Amino acid sequence: MNTLKPFDPVEDFFRGFFVRPVAFGKDDEVAPMRVDVRESAEGYEVHAEMPGVRKEDIQVNVEGALVSISAERRQDKDQREGDRVIRSERHFGRIERSFRLGAELDAEHTLAQFADGVLTLKLPRKEVQPKQKIAIE
């Protein structure tokens, strides 16, 4: 015999109010850095979401066709006496992302800008030298 009680939202509200101060659904892993990549005739444009990161804490490395982005998110130390953290979903620590693009990149002419939590990289393709015939002496 099934003796399940019907769901009562009022009872659930008060039970949750006294048992757990705030309900948040299931814990998810920290989302990785989200990246958009666009290709044009000149090269690639990358937009990487990096909310909560300061410009001086971002590192970008370009080697061949490999792009690596990393940053450090720092936690604010501003906590008043008597306050207690009930739940913290913001990620603090190191975030990293690496990906390979379809062509060699010109690291010397790469442009990087950071505004409103978004890093924008303009990555020109490296000019390919035409094949040259080598004279044999």
Confirm whether 135 is domain-assigned: no
Query: In the Cβ-directed half-sphere of 122, how many Cα atoms lie within 13 Å?
Result: 6
Task: Report if residue 81 sits inside a domain.
Answer: no
Tell me if 109 is assigned to some domain. Answer: yes
Give residue 21's pLDDT band: very low, low, confident or very high (50, 70, 90). very low
Q: Is residue 136 exposed (0-12), middle (13-18) or buried (19+ Cβ within 10 Å)?
A: exposed
In the chain, the number of structural domains is 1
Lay out the sheet containing 66-73: strands in order across: 58-63, 66-73, 93-100
Report if residue 21 sits inside a domain: no
Assigned domain for 66 exists: yes
**What is the domain range of residue 55?**
32-75+92-127
Q: Is 101 contained in some domain?
A: yes
pLDDT per position as a tens digit, 55-98: 999 999 999 999 999 998 776 655 566 777 676 666 677 888 99
Determine, yes or no, domain membership for 26.
no
pLDDT value at position 18? 47
CATH code for position 70: 2.60.40.790
Supply the pLDDT for residue 27.
Answer: 44
Q: Does residue 17 fall inside a structural domain?
A: no
What pTM, to 2 d.p., does this model score? 0.63
